Structure 1
Amino acid sequence: MTQMIEMPRVQSCTVSACSYNHNGCTAYAITIGSSTSAECDTFYDSLEKGGQGKALAQVGACKRADCVHNTDLECHAPAIVVGESGDKADCLTYDKK
């Protein structure tokens, strides 16, 4: 039997240019990280609006193995905060080991 883990929720996202941000992140789940940063890979700058309509997003995967909250490429923080960093959306909860 496969054990389900609780995914951390996106506590807040202040990136207003993202198509999934409607007073909070409305994507079902987001992916964090690239090989060089803790950016939100789900960020999408478009006039088209996406998401579930409610700010209930969770972290589905995190590619930043060097984060203190990351085990086996899964985030184990209680919740994360996403915010603007230049022209990108970054996980502000990221904390390098």
Structure 2
Amino acid sequence: MSVTQITSCTTTSCAFNNGGCTAYAITVGGDNGAPACDTFISLDARGGLPVAEGHVGACQRLECVHNKDLMCTANAVTVGGDTASCQTYEVR
């Protein structure tokens, strides 16, 4: 199984966003009906990889059609909004 790439992240308030997601891997979680990047952190610093090549390492959203064995099977993931929501999320 390959790891799903984050092709776009527009949550610029995240410390792991430097022209896109620079976290090596994120966890998709969130509360109830609001799937979100649980790796999101708002700091006055930037961190992560030197280039925007983030991936989804784990997905806690069991009800998502792309979730198989807690891994994301989508072709690609986009993240955005003030709360770093997973915009690829789809309920089964």
SS at structure 2 position matched to 1:66 = coil
> Is the counterpart of residue 40 in structure 1 residue 37 in structure 2?
yes
Instruction: Report Cα offsets for 1:34-88 as digits up to 9, x if no partner.
Output: 352311000010011111110110000000010011111110001000011xx41
Structure 1 runs (4+) deviating above 4 angstroms are none
Structure with the greater alpha carbon radius of gyration: 1
* Percentage of pairs with the same residue: 46
> Is the counterpart of residue 22 in structure 1 residue 18 in structure 2?
yes
In 2, Cα distance between equivalents of 1:47 and 1:35:
25
In 2, Cα distance between equivalents of 1:74 and 1:35:
18
In structure 2, the residue matched to 1:9 is: 5
| TM-score normalised to structure 1 length | 0.89
Question: Mind listing any 5+ residue stretches in structure 2 that lack a counterpart?
Answer: none
Question: Mind listing any 5+ residue stretches in structure 1 that lack a counterpart?
Answer: none
Q: What is the CA RMSD across the aligned residues, in angstroms?
A: 1.0
In structure 2, the residue matched to 1:57 is: 54
